[in-house]
Amino acid sequence: MFQSATQVANPRSRALEIASQIAIVVSASIFVALCARIYIPLPGTPVPLTVQNLGVLLVGLALGSRRGFAALALYLAEGAMGMPVFSPHGLGGIAQILGPTGGYLLAYPFVAVLTGYIFERGKPAFARAALACLAGEVLLFTFGISWLYVLTHSFAKALSFGLYWFIFAEVLKIMFAAGAVRGWQALTSRN
């Protein structure tokens, strides 16, 4: 009739692990929301230059495909409910998801999945992290430019609004994300 110590400890440790994973996912969504606060409005385009997608890449690399997807799906849900998690440059809420940056926003969970999936499927090297980030960025801009095309009915205008201004910054974000995750892994593997 009495339970052993391991029978009591297992449900508690399982509950603690679940709570820990939930905290990680929520923290990652908050991290991306903080990154969204760092932005530069650009002349001639309704799409601002933000650090937000750097946060998405870091979340995908650091948390992997499943938790990365969960964090960014939560982020979108928070924004859709009107919480101030998106870049202040837009209207916020559903209006921001349906606006010029909507394609990028809707891509975030899938970018995290792709980035995490590629990175977790091999030796965690800088080159693999950079390749994962590059694939994530290609997916991000495919969604973003496609949505801008739907809004503008012009592929040239969609590229002008959503790509040309950003190429140099995105290369820097890819390199930073790959280096940061590799540096963090090297630091934590020593301990």
- pLDDT recorded at residue 4: 52
Give, as one character, the DSSP assignment of residue 87.
Answer: -
- pLDDT recorded at residue 7: 55
- pLDDT recorded at residue 71: 98
- pLDDT recorded at residue 120: 93
- pLDDT recorded at residue 1: 47
* One-letter amino acid for residue 68 of the chain: G
pTM: 0.90
Report d(CA 81, CA 75) in Å as an integer: 10
- Two tokens at 23? 């905290």
* One-letter amino acid for residue 51 of the chain: V
Q: What is the mean pLDDT of each run of 10 residues along the chain (191 residues)?
A: 54 89 98 96 94 97 97 97 92 93 97 97 91 98 98 96 95 96 78 60
- pLDDT recorded at residue 80: 96
Q: Are 36 and 78 in contact (CB under 8 A)?
A: no
- pLDDT recorded at residue 188: 73
Residue with tokens 């969504």: 29
- pLDDT recorded at residue 180: 94
Q: Are strands 49-50 and 39-40 parallel, antiparallel or unpaired?
A: antiparallel
- pLDDT recorded at residue 153: 96
Helix (H, G, I), strand (E, B) or coil at 44: coil
- pLDDT recorded at residue 9: 56
First vs last C-alpha separation in the chain: 43
User: What is the sign, positive or negative, of the torsion defined by CA atoms of 106, 110, 116, 118?
Assistant: negative
* One-letter amino acid for residue 191 of the chain: N
